[in-house]
Amino acid sequence: MKLLLTNIKELLQIREQDTKKIAGGAMKELPSLKNAWLLLEDNTIKDFGTMDSLADISAEKTIDCTGKMVLPTWCDSHTHIVYAGNREQEFVDRINGLSYQEIAEKGGGILNSAKKLQETHEEDLYKQSAQRLEQVMRMGTGAIEIKSGYGLTTEAELKMLRVAKKLGDNFPVTVKTTFLGAHAVPAEFKGDKDGYLNHIITNMLPKVAQENLADYIDIFCEKGYFSVEDTHKLLQAGNSYGLMPKIHVNQFNAIGGVKAGVVHDALSVDHLEVLTNADISVLQNSDTMPVALPSCSYFLSIPYTPGRELIDAGLPLALATDYNPGSTPSGNMNFVVATACIKMKLTPEEAINAATLNGAYAMGLSDTHGSITKGKNASVMVTKEIPSYAYLPYDFGNNNIETVIINGKTIE
Ligand SMILES: N=CN[C@@H](CCC(=O)O)C(=O)O
Ligand SMILES: [Zn+2]
């Protein structure tokens, strides 16, 4: 099936196939074509050009994009969208003065979600998670990473990963899965973190690998959760199963997680709200993508990742939602892009690069996603009539995405 988009006011993020990520000063550029056309054939970007070069193409469907922009769908490289129930009571507790850490210390937080998830049947978990996936697809997310980490028992971790895989099988969106058994120490192992880590390595990890349920491995490297030493141990074990790391580091404290990730060739290091100069130097000598999660900073009122500093240091940056019930109950990449501009001082070009091609890189998808490139997946979105692409982050909180096409399928 051929789908032709014509009279596109501006076709954004046009890249060559060999551009896998964008760093430093190059992030200020967003290559585009004005007054353009784009041809999608089945689930592939077939061709594009300016309207004066449009030959006679017979397409089954044509969309007139007069006044509208077209860009690749968002690549959300960090989410926890498979979860059960919600945690709005903790939200109220925080308004009333408790901190995120205090809530966790009282057995709330991740353990609260783990209890709910363990008690939820797989089909119900699938249904709750599918609703969230449909919601983010409508807002323009065409590729997404989904973590486990609210199971914390072998059975419940496998259940989460099976649900995440099934979402990828049943929806047009491309899904990558990450095993995050080391998200918190469960109640059954209270006071025995080492015992739990060993349990992850000897019991959970082999099963996750055997059932081929995960693409990546993750750990929450943070004071009160898992140490740098734990991180080395787990990532080494993950490596023996071929699982590349994508890890939670520097959310509240800089304890050396960035270096641990880089040493193990992490694909990405995520959060980075608290960052040292040493962390920046380590990243400068690596292929690891730093990932910022501004909606988490917004929701928890914690510092924003110093994205401006990272880019000015010549580094790449990706943006993701962190969609989860505790720290970020939102999967809206449009809000992420706007918040990165407003609070982290990224330019619209930088934010769009970070939320598309660099996001694709941060989940191993830059060969197929994140840019308008012949041969890549037909995952693009059409905006409403807007004056310029800077209007997208400027008009924050409003939906300017009119049509979303994921893998060649229009999302209703
Ligand atoms: N910080 C660790 N994990 C999640 C939040 C977990 C939760 O509060 O449920 C995050 O990335 O923010
Ligand atoms: Zn997270």
Contact by Cβ (8 Å): 13, 372:
yes
pLDDT over 90 at 344, yes or no: yes
Annotated binding-site residue? 322 = yes
How far away, in angstroms, is 322 Cα from ligand 2 center? Answer: 5
pLDDT over 90 at 37, yes or no: yes
Contacts of 111 (CB under 8 A, 6+ apart): 104, 152, 184, 186, 187
pLDDT over 90 at 105, yes or no: no
Verdict on whether the full-model pTM lies above 0.80:
yes
Q: Which of 52-56, 110-114, 187-191, 331-335 has the lowest mean pLDDT?
A: 52-56
Q: What is the pLDDT of residue 161?
A: 98
**94: burial class by Cβ within 10 Å (0-12, 13-18, 19+)?**
middle
pLDDT over 90 at 291, yes or no: yes
Ligand 1 atom with minimal separation from the 150 CA = 9
Q: Which of 95-99, 105-109, 179-183, 250-254 has the lowest mean pLDDT?
A: 105-109
Q: How far apart are CA 146 and CA 144, in angstroms?
A: 6
> Bridge-partner residues for 406, per DSSP?
409
Q: How far apart are CA 376 and CA 393, in angstroms?
A: 26
Complex ipTM tops 0.95: yes
Q: What is the pLDDT of residue 106?
A: 84
pLDDT above 90 coverage of the chain, percent: 97
Q: What is the pLDDT of residue 173?
A: 98
Quick one: tokens of 405?
């096409």
Q: What is the pLDDT of residue 184?
A: 97
Annotated binding-site residue? 195 = no
Instruction: Please state at what angle helix 154-170 crosses helix 110-118, rounded to 10 degrees.
Output: 80
Q: What is the pLDDT of residue 57?
A: 86
Ligand 1 atom with minimal separation from the 109 CA = 8
How far away, in angstroms, is 216 Cα from ligand 2 center? Answer: 14
**In 99-243, which ranges are E strands?**
141-147, 174-182, 216-221
How far away, in angstroms, is 146 Cα from ligand 2 center? Answer: 9
Q: What is the pLDDT of residue 107?
A: 83
Contact by Cβ (8 Å): 113, 87:
yes
Contact 220 CB / ligand 1 (< 6 Å) = yes
| Inter-CA distances, 361 with 73, 171, 354, 378, Å | 14, 21, 10, 17
Q: What is the DSSP string of 73-104?
A: PEEE--------S--HHHHHHHHTT--HHHHH
Quick one: tokens of 232?
């080395």
Residue 356 — φ and ψ, nearest 5°?
-120, -85
Contact 246 CB / ligand 1 (< 6 Å) = no
Contact 322 CB / ligand 1 (< 6 Å) = yes
Ligand 1 atom with minimal separation from the 83 CA = 9
pLDDT over 90 at 157, yes or no: yes
Q: How far apart are CA 376 and CA 45, in angstroms?
A: 6
How far away, in angstroms, is 295 Cα from ligand 1 center? Answer: 12
Q: What is the pLDDT of residue 321?
A: 98
Ligand 1 atom with minimal separation from the 87 CA = 9
Question: Quick one: which ligand is closest to 115's CA?
Answer: 1
How far away, in angstroms, is 110 Cα from ligand 1 center? Answer: 7
Contact 110 CB / ligand 1 (< 6 Å) = yes
How far away, in angstroms, is 58 Cα from ligand 2 center? Answer: 45
Q: How far apart are CA 175 and CA 130, in angstroms?
A: 12
Contact 251 CB / ligand 1 (< 6 Å) = yes
Ligand 1 atom with minimal separation from the 271 CA = 11
For 229-283, how does the pLDDT look when each residue is reduced to its tens digit (9 = 90+)? 999 999 999 999 999 999 999 999 999 999 999 999 999 999 999 999 999 999 9
pLDDT over 90 at 221, yes or no: yes
**24: burial class by Cβ within 10 Å (0-12, 13-18, 19+)?**
middle
Contact 113 CB / ligand 1 (< 6 Å) = yes
Mean pLDDT confidence for 353-365: 98
Contact by Cβ (8 Å): 342, 354:
no
How far away, in angstroms, is 285 Cα from ligand 2 center? Answer: 24
Contact 248 CB / ligand 1 (< 6 Å) = yes
Closest CA to ligand 1's atom 4: 327
Q: What is the pLDDT of residue 55?
A: 85
Show the domains of the chain with their CATH numbers: 2-72+370-410 (2.30.40.10), 75-361 (3.20.20.140)
How far away, in angstroms, is 144 Cα from ligand 2 center? Answer: 13
Mean pLDDT (the chain, rounded)? 97
Instruction: Choose the residue to mutate in 80, 253, 270, 302 for probing ligand 1, maximizing ligand atoms within 8 Å of C-beta.
Output: 80
Confidence of residue 56 (pLDDT cuts 50, 70, 90): confident
Question: Quick one: which ligand is closest to 327's CA?
Answer: 1
Mean pLDDT confidence for 59-77: 97
Torsion sign across C-alpha atoms 163, 169, 173, 175: positive
The dihedral formed by the CA atoms of 245, 362, 283 and 216, expressed in degrees to the nearest 10 = 0
Annotated binding-site residue? 80 = yes
